[in-house]
Structure 1
Amino acid sequence: MSRSYLQIHPIDNLLVALKDLKAGTVIQHQGQEITLKDDIAAKHKFSTVDIPKGNTATMYGVLVGVATQDIPKGGLIHTFNLHHASQDFLGKQKEYNWEAPNVDRWKNTTFKGYQRPDGQVGTQNYWLVIPLVFCENRNIELLKNAFIKGLGFQKNDPFTDQVIELKKQLESGHDLKTSDIKGTFKGELLQKSAAFPNVDGIKFLRHESGCGESKDDSDMLCSLLAGYCVNPNVGGISVLSLGCQHSQIETFKDSLKAIDPNFSKPIHFFEQQQDEGSGVENLLSDVILKTFQGLVEINKISRTEAPLSKLRLGVKCGGSDGFSGISANPAIGHTADLLVALGGTVMIAEFPELCGVEQELQNRSVNATVADNFGKLMREYARRAEAVGAGFDMNPSPGNIKDGLITDAIKSAGAAKKAGTSPIVDALGYGQYAKKHGLNLVCTPGNDVLATTGMAGAGATVQLFTTGLGTPTGNPISPMVKLSTNTRLAEKLPEIIDIDCGPIISGEKSVEEMGEEILDYVIRLASGEINTKAMELGQDDFMFWRRGVSL
């Protein structure tokens, strides 16, 4: 590694160690010598000046904390001497002029996607089976087993083979011992059904909501599920309802109509308590028949050429480390800028991880209305957190802190790099669908699955997910590309990492070069030429954000 430290912004008084540095090491920085007072682990920060107690620390060019004790020049920054602090935000304060990146290289590039009647283009062609209430989860599991096994959508994994081998040993009277499976699990569980070559899979959602909660939450669930149905990666839908729950079929239909008044995909509804047949067997038999007929119908759709402006990209980070904000996050931020310049749609979620950069984002908003709506969503979220004794300052996880993300503002300033530099065209509440081309802010928690679930519901057809510690998150309908912030992680967990952004840290590649490579990867993925590791693992995570009380 050619560099030992990095200053991210010219006004920062914190530097990031790019490798382990020993106490006593002398750093040459901007014409001055800084003698390190402590051992500084890679990814952690140290000060360029003396920071007296009560004074502020700056990183990424923004306020990230207040010293809780005197911090000497060259001293380690950690939770014992720095507390979260961030600047207030006041609405749009100035006009924003964006210099879009050069995209001549991709001007005539297309991807092979699935054209939908509403003009959207999917990167996948899935049949979706959803419950309106948790009471249908058992039926969902029965249907999943029937279709996955019956149509051969998934291969056996080595762990299942191991159980089968142990059963044989038991039956034959041999001592029980496991075979060596190390290195045999490559995550290649995904496969297409020979009967439906144009269907990329049949996906089954499970959740714990829909009733026994505030009606607002049940209505929000209907809005989120409606977004999943409108998402162009979905070709058709089977909807299961018990009948007596808050999240009624009619409420769901209203949510669907609100997003797309002319919704025309094949969709079938099944209500268990209203079924005139005798028992669940007849209900599920009907679901299987209608779903199978639906698979036949969407199998008639094949991939055709579409402009890159039809791509809908979500960006997210999870299991972040001290390198996230200087390698993988700005890399996918550049990818986002390239796609916006090509007329595409980008979404960034996890509002607690935008804490401290609100003013910058408001200034980047296309108008005061968008800026004010974003501010309203942020303040309402913060108010809800404080009402239950929490706050955005509690956002960094133990893993984040261990790897150098000491305050929420430090974490947020790095997380916001995923948004690139383009203007913000809209700020959306949870369960709202993104309808404007350009960069959209989508209100979700920082929780990995809640955020990725929300972006898929807002229409993301591909998601880029950066991680410094290793996170296996995936999504049922929106392919998840996993990008490591450092090469060590990519080598440690190759079964979950798709792209290594470590070369940015080593100086082998620039942020811009990596961002361009990522866009090329997304185009291949969107065309069905490759699958992500999460897709191959069958990592189909779905979690609804319940904000009210259980009743």
Structure 2
Amino acid sequence: MALIAQATDAPASIIRLHERDDVVIARRPLPAGTEVSPGVVLSTAVPAAHKIALRPIAAGESLRRYGQIIGIASADIAAGDHVHVHNLSIGNLEGGAQDPNAGDTPAKDYAIGSEVMPVVPVAEPATFMGIPRPDGRVATRNYIGILTSVNCSATVAHAIADQFRRDVHPEAMAPYPNVDGVVALTHGVGCAVAADGEALAMLQRTLAGYARHVNFAAVLVIGLGCETNQIEALIESQGLQPGPRLYPYTIQQIGGTTRAIAEGIRHIEGLLAEANQVERVPCGAEHLRVALQCGGSDGYSGITANPALGAAVDRLVAHGGSAVLAETPEIYGAEHLLTRRAVSPAVADKLIARIHWWEAYCRVRGASLDNNPSAGNKAGGLTTILEKSLGAVAKAGTAPLVEVLEYAEPMRERGLAFMDSPGFDPVSVTGQVASGCNLIAFTTGRGSAFGCAPVPSLKLATNSALWQRQRDDMDINCGTLVDGETDLDTLGEQIFQRLLTLASGDPSQSERHGYGQQEFVPWQIGVIT
């Protein structure tokens, strides 16, 4: 089932997404007394992107948006009432995917593979100006990276990278216009964890994904020397090959901080000339892997930017490319829409297993997956995790789900994949980049500020008010869809074409602002002692 919202006939002040919906969405702030539908008059003022009841709903009765159940009325709701956290909750729906054809009872009807639509390849796949690597992969950017095995070596890594900042030392990089920069990607862990535990294995998998990332011409890996995350063990366990393009060393081995900084500078100076010897050439879109993200979502996210990005993803897959959806807690309650598109029971079962892992993870800690939406999401009109998730999966379009990945696990198949991750954007994107994504498409309704070196991020605004307020952070205004200035197909094509120009080297707004180095945040899971 594709959840690509299309507004049905409604007054200009509201949007109704599905004929079965119990609510409509305000296009703009509406005062009390506004008649939003024949006989339905607002009992109170309603902010833009918030929900309005179309009919009386008794306490305990389920309520639908997108034609899907998004929660249970926690109080009696009258026609024309504002529907939000004061009268709608997840109720007893937590833990159950919905059968959209059932009544008010949640059911785990995953209908595995029942709605797989074959991809029809385009006759002439699109191209972009990419950077071919010797192993056959194609880069969208050309960086030199500095990774750290542990928090203790972060200062050294940043001190090295600072010597090659174009805004501070322009003379250092002036001879190398084809090198996008030198970036230090540091983190706060790497020690005081079990040497054979899940936390360390996940960190090593993430670091290895970055070490071999196609957008890095070369990488330094710097440690302290006595940490749990020993560089030798990292290299051996992940099958990495040390050499000039993967240069590991430790502060203790090299003789202290000053010498470690000098060694890093020396080595990078020796790499720059060769790294600069690249040329962008036409490459097929099958080399693109796009990380799909949403952050700072609002009530418009599932109406404009997310389904428009989904339309772009369908185009990308038809052109041979790939996309990776993530944020497991933010597809919770909508996973049945993905299992129906799974190409095999094994793929669906792996997704369901990750959902069950998160349920157990929260249960043991006395937490709830409905802790999401965040305060900002709720201010933007989202009430329950079911509502947020139903809008979030729209980013994935309608393509078959070809594989489900563990966090930072390398992508093996072409097409649409799902990667298990938390909903916190920097953590989730870090895993997607480690999996091999070389582009990021990020939708936002509240105005997230984000980037993720070495991969460029395309920012999609869900509404025109955000576009006007924060235009220098946004790349495309998807609010034109709800404004009636464009249609979903046209907007999807615009996003797809912008992804091609971004992959070809045209900078995104996030890149212009210098975002990227601080957003490397590997998932911290497990006990820290």
Residues of 2 paired with 1:283 and 1:304: CA distance? 37
Q: Which amino acid aligns with 1:267?
A: L
Residues 82-122 of structure 1 show CA distances to partners (whole Å, capped at 9, x for unaligned) of 10235333554342232657856xx2531111112332211
SS of the aligned residue for 1:465 comes to strand
Aligned 8 A contact 2:116 2:343 in 1: no
Question: 1:3·1:506 contact (CA, 8 Å) conserved in 2?
Answer: no
Following superposition of structure 1 onto structure 2, how do residues 125-140 of structure 1 map, counting pairs within 5 Å? 125-140=142-157
Residue 217 of structure 1 is aligned with which of 186, 199, 217?
A: 199
| Unaligned stretches of 5+ residues in structure 2 | 1-9, 98-107
Q: Secondary structure at the match of 1:197?
A: coil
1:441 counterpart residue number? 418
Structure 1 distance, partners of 2:510, 2:397, is: 25
What does residue 126 of structure 2 align with? 109
**Greater CA drift, 354-363 or 113-122:** 113-122
Contact 1:123–1:461 at 8 Å: present in 2 too?
yes
Counterparts of residues 47-196 of structure 1 (less than 5 Å) = 47-84=53-90, 85=93, 87-88=96-97, 89-98=108-117, 100=119, 103=122, 107-148=124-165, 153-154=166-167, 193-196=173-176
**In structure 1, what is the Cα distance between the partners aligned to 2:492 and 2:121?**
13
| Paired residues of 1:56 and 1:63 also in contact (CA < 8 A) | yes
Match of 1:250 among 232, 256, 259: 232
User: What residue is the counterpart of 1:16 in the other structure?
Assistant: 25
Q: 1:461 to 1:76 in 2, by over 3 A?
A: same
Distance change (3 Å), C-alpha of 1:412 and 1:310 = same
Distance (Å, rounded) in 1 between the aligned partners of 2:11 and 2:121: 29
Q: Which moved more, 1:462-471 or 1:262-271?
A: 262-271
- Structure-2 separation of matches of 1:192 and 1:71: 65
Q: Is contact 2:156-2:260 (8 Å) kept?
A: no
SS class of match (1:147) = coil
Give the CA deviation at 1:387: 2.0
Q: Distance in 1 between matches of 2:311 and 2:168?
A: 36
Identify if the C-alpha distance between structure 1 residues 416 and 192 changes in structure 2 by more than 3 Å, giving closer, same or farther: farther
The partner residue of 1:547 within 509, 519, 525 is 525
Is residue 340 of structure 2 the alignment partner of residue 363 of structure 1? yes
**1:27 paired residue among 25, 36, 59:** 36
Q: Tell me, in whole angstroms, the C-alpha distance in 1 between the residues paired with 2:227 and 2:241.
A: 26
What one-letter code is carried by the residue in structure 2 that aligns with 1:207? H
Is residue 426 from structure 1 mapped to residue 403 from structure 2 by the alignment? yes
Cα distance in 1, alignment partners of residues 202 and 244 from structure 2: 22
Matches within 5 A, 1:302-321: 302-321=279-298
Deviations 1:335-366 (A, max 9, x none): 11110111111011111110111111111111
Of the three residues 208, 211, 215, the one matched with 2:188 is 208
1:324–1:467 Cα contact (<8 Å) kept = yes
Supply the distance in 2 between the matched residues of 1:516 and 1:478 (Cα, whole angstroms): 22
Q: Give the Cα–Cα distance (whole angstroms) in 1 for the partners of residues 145 and 133 of structure 2.
A: 15
Structure 2 letter corresponding to 1:202: V
Select between 383-392 and 326-335 the one with higher mean Cα deviation.
383-392
Percent of paired sites with the same residue: 33
Residue by residue over 1:43-74, the C-alpha shift from the partner in whole angstroms, topping out at 9 and shown as x without a partner, is 00112222111110111222210111111122
C-alpha distance in 2, partners of 1:283/1:81?
59
Corresponding residue number in structure 1 for 2:3: none
**Which deviates the most, 242-251 or 32-41?**
32-41
1:228 shift after superposition? 1.2
SS of equivalent to 2:471? coil
Aligned position for 2:250 = 271
In structure 2, what is the Cα distance between the partners aligned to 1:360 and 1:328? 18
TM-score (norm 1): 0.87
Instruction: Give, in whole Å, the separation in 1 of the partners of 2:137 and 2:330.
Output: 30
> Alpha carbon RMSD of aligned pairs, Å?
2.2
Q: Which deviates the most, 12-21 or 213-222?
A: 213-222
- 303 and 42 in structure 1: CA distance in 2 versus 1, 3 angstrom threshold: same
Cα distance in structure 2, aligned partners of 1:523 and 1:384: 39
Gapped regions of structure 1 (runs ≥ 5): 157-189
Contact 2:222–2:250 (CA<8 Å) still a contact in 1?
A: yes
Is residue 330–residue 388 contact of structure 2 (8 Å, CA) maintained in 1? yes
Indicate which of 6, 9, 15 corresponds to 2:15.
Answer: 6
Distance 2:435 2:475 in 1: 24
Whole-angstrom CA distance in 2 between matches of 1:485 and 1:263: 44
> Relative to structure 2, which stretch is displaced further, 137-146 or 322-331?
137-146
Q: What pairs with 1:448-467 in structure 2 (closer than 5 Å)?
A: 448-467=425-444
Aligned-partner residue type, residue 400 of structure 1:
N
Which deviations, in whole Å up to 9, do the C-alpha atoms of 1:404-460 show, x marking residues without a partner? 001111111111111111110111111211121011101111112111111111111
In 2, the alpha carbon distance for the partners of 1:539 and 1:285 equals 26
Amino acid corresponding to residue 32 of structure 2 in structure 1: A
State TM-score, norm by structure 2.
Answer: 0.90
Cα separation, 2, equivalents of 1:200 and 1:470: 26
Q: Distance in 2 between matches of 1:371 and 1:364?
A: 8
Q: Determine the C-alpha separation between the residues in 1 that align with 2:11 and 2:511.
A: 36
Deviations 1:502-547 (A, max 9, x none): 110101111211111111111111111x201111111111112111
| Equivalent-residue separation in structure 1 for 2:427 and 2:528 (angstroms) | 18
Which residue matches 2:511?
535
Distance 1:256 1:77 in 2: 50
Distance in 1 (CA, whole Å) between partners of 2:311 and 2:65 is: 20
How many residue pairs were aligned?
Answer: 503
SS in 1 for 2:441: strand
- After superposition, the C-alpha distances for 1:274-303 in whole angstroms (9 at most, x for unaligned) are 33xx43323322222222222222212221
Quote the offset at 1:493 in angstroms: 1.1
Cα offset for 1:2?
7.4
CA distance in 2, matches of 1:377, 1:511: 32
CA pair 254-382 structure 1, distance change in 2 beyond 3 A: farther
Is the Cα–Cα contact under 8 Å of residues 163 and 172 in structure 2 kept in the other structure?
no
- 2:486 maps to 1:509: yes
**Letter aligned with residue 286 of structure 1:** E
Distance 1:461 1:513 in 2: 24
2-structure distance, mates of 1:345, 1:205: 25
Give 1:41 shift.
1.8
Deviations 1:372-417 (A, max 9, x none): 0001111112221232222210111111111100111111111111
CA gap of 1:92–1:128, structure 2 versus 1, over 3 A, is farther
Q: Indicate conservation of the 8 Å contact 2:112/2:341, yes or no.
A: no
Partner SS for 1:129: strand
**Residues 192 and 479 (structure 1), Cα distance of their counterparts in 2 relative to 1, 3 Å cut:** farther
Partners of 1:444 and 1:263 in 2: CA distance: 29
CA displacement, residues 237-262 of structure 1 (integer Å, 9 cap, x when unaligned):
101011221212233213532xxx78
2:215 is aligned, of 203, 226, 233, to 233
Deviates more, 1:364-373 or 1:389-398: 389-398
Q: Distance in 2 between matches of 1:250 and 1:377?
A: 31
Distance 1:255 1:462, change over 3 A: farther
Cα 1:324–1:255 change in 2 (3 A) is farther
* C-alpha distance 266-483 of structure 1, shift in aligned 2 (>3 A): same
- Say if 1:62 and 1:356, in contact at 8 Å, map to a contact too: no
